[in-house]
Amino acid sequence: MTTWLVTGGAGYIGAHVVRALTTAGMRPVVVDNLSSGRAGFVPDGVDLVEGDILDTELLTRTLADNRCSGVVHVAGFKYAGVSVERPLHTYAQNVTGTASVLAAMEAAGTPGMVFSSSAAVYGTPDGELVTEDSPKRPESPYGESKLIGEWLIDDVARSRPGFRGASLRYFNVVGSATDEVYDASPHNLFPLVIEALLEGRTPRINGDDYPTPDGTCVRDYVHVGDLAVSHVAAARALDAGRPLLPAYNLGSGEGLSVRQIMDAMRRVTGIDFDPAIAPRRAGDPARIVATGEAAARDLDWRMRYSVDEMVASAWSARRSAVPAA
């Protein structure tokens, strides 16, 4: 049984990765400072080390003590809009933090990393469908920090024999694969809509005059359970020495509009509402959709959930939880 350290494993995505590793017969160990993660998201029986990824000595000790064969590096500051206001904090968490994890891995002799990257590395794409080779033009400190993280991993792979990494570029991660974990982000569309409905407020759409079929932004919504499966596939490939690309898009190839998400929310929850139309948000591109063909070939990537199933899983998990603090 191989052991993998999951940084940020008490967060929404990280906790799903932890469960997927366990299901696959692997042993996860979590490091999380609980700044946004929740100890209750970590399953019983999984070791939780409370600490920061900037603490290189703690990471080195944890990797060595558990004889980890790899790290799934999910921890980071993930709010693109806020990163514009807090660039130094973003770089400290996402660039210095990733360098700290890599330094600890070198000190402990840990050979493999699966890195949580982002579609934000692309900025506003030129074409209809983003591929791994599309130009990288990040438009926020967050996107820049994720691209630098990918560069760091690639540089270490070139300089350190035996080290390998794979970066997984996420798009809009939604839903829940268990009622024990839900997305509590104050910036993501699904929790924003769900919290509004639970509180009796009207959800809103930021702009309905984009050059898209229904005038609202089109995004690539992918289920967190599918995402977790592909993390495990990447970890297994690294363990087995199978070849992987440096980076993969985890995208649907099709995309959904914000209005389509609102329609699904209305169908699934049974709450009838007409979303309020607010002004556009600065910097929101009309459409970002990516192909997931490479990940489908190498990382067991596929869309296992319909839009209604994505919404239903998110709604069920949030309603099963205690009220958000």
Query: Chain centroid to CA 82: how far?
Result: 17
Q: Map 248-284 to HEC letters.
A: EECCCCCCEEHHHHHHHHHHHHCCCCCCEEECCCCCC
Residues in the chain: 325
Query: Chain centroid to CA 41: how far?
Result: 16
Query: Chain centroid to CA 319: how far?
Result: 22
Q: Is 79 a catalytic residue?
A: no
Q: Which of 98, 213, 215, 230 is nearest to 171 (CA)?
A: 230
Using DSSP bridges, classify how beta strands 3-7 and 27-32 pair: parallel, antiparallel or unpaired: parallel
Using DSSP bridges, classify how beta strands 256-257 and 218-219 pair: parallel, antiparallel or unpaired: antiparallel
> 268 with 260: CB under 8 angstroms?
no
- Please give the Cα distance from 301 to 297 (Å, whole number): 8
> Which of 142, 170, 221, 305 is an active site residue?
142
Catalytic annotation, residues: 142
